[in-house]
Amino acid sequence: MNTVTVIGSINLDRTIRVTYMPKPGETIHTKETFSAGGGKGANQAVAARRSDAKTYFIGGVGRDEAGKTMTELLEQEEIDISGVATLDNQATGQAYIIVDDQGENSIMIHAGANNAFTVAQVQENKEIIQKSDFIIAQFESAIEPTVEAFRIARANGVRTILNPAPALENVPDELLAVTDMIIPNETETEILTGITITDEKSLKEAAQVFHGLGIEAVIITIGSKGAYYDIADGASGIVPAFKVHAVDTTAAGDTFIGAMSSVLTKDFSNLEEAIRYGNQASSLTVQRFGAQPSIPYKHELI
């Protein structure tokens, strides 16, 4: 069983289902509204835990009802939240999600407490990181604590996985220097490398840029086509996605990363097999509505 620590975002998701995306200035009726647990970090942690990884979380929530709801949801998943700070004068992160009948979504995020937990809080939870196999981070929370967490991980032989989403044009060099694996999508890859993804040749070229920054393993998710992987001086290829009818793509990428981390070996020797497992998990997620409610359990995948 892998031990996975996630550092990053915890959001209460408020989802609106519509037939189609409204145009600017247009008023339309909704089909359904609901709230659920979300945030890229929390989604990834739930996906790892539901695939039987021992899972820890480092982050922050506000001293409010949304924070209480989210900590209770994570505790119900048996995720260790001793590293989650409850912060005064901060609102818990929230996401406002619109999903249409084609399964496409638009998401607006209020970061709140996700951007308020500190480097000092990461240092207080150093022991959690040290006993992990993997630590996963995204860009929905403050960068400085993430850099510190990855530094601690690198110094202790813990593998670091960076999901650079939402994309930043200027990712700190000190973060990339302590990243073992990067998992962007096509858009994020273009922003980070300047290479437009059109075919396997451009995927390879982008991967080489990441390798040039010192990152050992690259996985570029390519939507319904699956995922391209490339290990420095090693194997590369495309692992196809499972063909399904998507109703809501929210949390698909987070499910992929969390599930994959639960079965990945620290030397990345089973990367293709781990990607296939992540693809299978995300193929179930997109057939269901909501972020965390849609994430599958291990028994659904074996």
Q: Which residues are part of a known binding site for substrate?
A: 11-13, 39-43, 140, 254
Q: Where are the beta strands (DSSP E) in 10-79?
A: 11-17, 32-38, 54-62
Instruction: Report the side by side order of strands in the sheet with 32-38.
Output: 32-38, 11-17, 93-99, 105-110
Structure tokens at 151: 């530094």
Q: Residues with catalytic annotation?
A: 254
Within 125-185, where are the H helices? 126-130, 143-155, 173-176
- CA 108, 51, 259, 214: dihedral to nearest 10 degrees? 120
CA–CA separation, 282 vs 225, rounded Å? 13
β-strand 226-231 against 236-240: which pairing, if any?
A: antiparallel
Cα-Cα-Cα-Cα dihedral sign, residues 4, 95, 162, 156: negative
Output Rg (C-alpha) for the chain, integer angstroms.
18
CA–CA separation, 279 vs 285, rounded Å? 10
Count how many residues are written for the chain: 302
Instruction: Give 141's contacts (C-beta < 8 A, 6+ positions apart).
Output: 7, 8, 9, 41, 59, 60, 111, 114, 115, 117
Q: Which of 286, 216, 276 is nearest to 253 (CA)?
A: 286
Residue position matching structure tokens 């359904």: 32
CA–CA separation, 103 vs 286, rounded Å? 8
